[in-house]
Amino acid sequence: MDIGILFPVSRSALPCVSHRKGARGVHSVSVNLDASQLVAGWRPESGSLFLPVLSESRVGDAVAVRVGIHGQTIRATVYGKVSLVRRVGRPTLPPGVEIALDRGSLAAAGFLAMAARGEPVSFRERAPRFVASQPLSVEHAGRAFETATLNVSEGGCSVRWPGQLPLVGDVVSIRLGRGLFAPVARAVVCWNQPGGAIERSVGLRVLGDGRAGRAWRNLVAGVAQSGGRAA
């Protein structure tokens, strides 16, 4: 799938956008919004986020969006599919793209909206995380390599990363298991650790609910049932 490039609606609208094509048709987009734009665009009742940017995308295209707020340090990466494209707007209906978020991105979007409204934000609530060294085959930017996790949770993992670190918002492929027909999950880079005194590592958010999503959840459940230590 090809989501096309996202462009700012106008100079006064101020969303700052960069775009990269990721693995397996998922496109990575970075957007900086005014607080008022984010509050207006977040629709918790439908689990969707409206971005006031022009687009060549089509309904059903997949995208990972790194969202920031002007004047704040908070950032979050959300994932979903394009549910609406409005290329021509009116004063009360600006042009833009609406993203139907996957369930794992709803909390992050809610945190962003709270920050945009000036409310205190706490990231203490999260899925259980377990220390585990699970071998993974990863593909990024046309390069495939073997690595291992540092910890895992239902939503993703941190992994050791050899070589040049990926950018936050990049999309990678993770092969879960061995063999030709092993499921392949997509994941978006949420943070990177450049190394030094701490080993070089990357935080990945695993995407999707299909066969690969089930395989990932089964992997995490296996770690938990085997007595994995909480991270």
Statement: residue 78 has pLDDT above 80 = yes
From CA 200, how far away is CA 193, in angstroms rounded? 5
Which of 4-13, 51-60, 91-100: highest mean pLDDT?
91-100
Q: Which residues share a beta bridge with 185?
A: 174
Task: Convert the pLDDT of each residue in 175-231 to its tens digit.
Answer: 988 877 889 998 988 888 876 545 789 999 888 768 888 999 999 999 999 988 887
Predicted confidence at residue 47, as pLDDT, reads: 95
Query: Average pLDDT over the chain, rounded to whole?
Result: 82
Give 11 or 106, the one with higher predicted confidence.
106
Statement: residue 134 has pLDDT above 70 = yes
Number of H helices, E strands in the chain: 3, 16
Q: Which phi and psi (to 5°) does residue 215 adopt?
A: -65, -40
- Contacts of residues 122-131 at CB distance under 8 Å and 24 or more positions apart, as own/partner, are 126/153, 126/155, 127/153, 127/154, 127/155, 128/153, 128/154, 128/224, 128/230, 129/153, 129/230, 129/231, 130/220, 130/223, 130/224, 130/228, 130/229, 130/230, 130/231, 131/228, 131/229, 131/230, 131/231
Residue 47 Rama label (left phi>0; alpha psi -120 to 50; beta)? left
> How large a percentage of the chain has pLDDT more than 70?
83
Q: Answer whether 6-116 and 129-225 agree in fold.
A: yes
The domain locations on the chain are 6-116, 129-225
* CATH number, span 129-225: 2.40.10.220
Statement: residue 126 has pLDDT above 60 = no
Q: Is the pTM of this model over 0.75?
A: no
The answer to whether 54 and 31 have CB atoms below 8 angstroms apart is no
Give 14 or 63, the one with higher predicted confidence.
63
Statement: residue 120 has pLDDT above 60 = yes
Alpha-helical regions (H) of the chain: 35-41, 106-116, 211-225
Predicted confidence at residue 181, as pLDDT, reads: 85
Q: Strand 62-69 to strand 6-8: parallel, antiparallel, or no bridges (unpaired)?
A: unpaired
Level-2 CATH architecture, domain 6-116? Beta Barrel (2.40)
From CA 38, how far away is CA 203, in angstroms rounded? 25
User: Which residue is associated with the tokens 């990678």?
Assistant: 172
Percent helix / strand / coil, the chain, rounded to 5 = 15, 45, 40
The answer to whether 204 and 187 have CB atoms below 8 angstroms apart is yes
Q: Which of 22-31, 36-45, 130-139, 181-190 has the lowest mean pLDDT?
A: 22-31
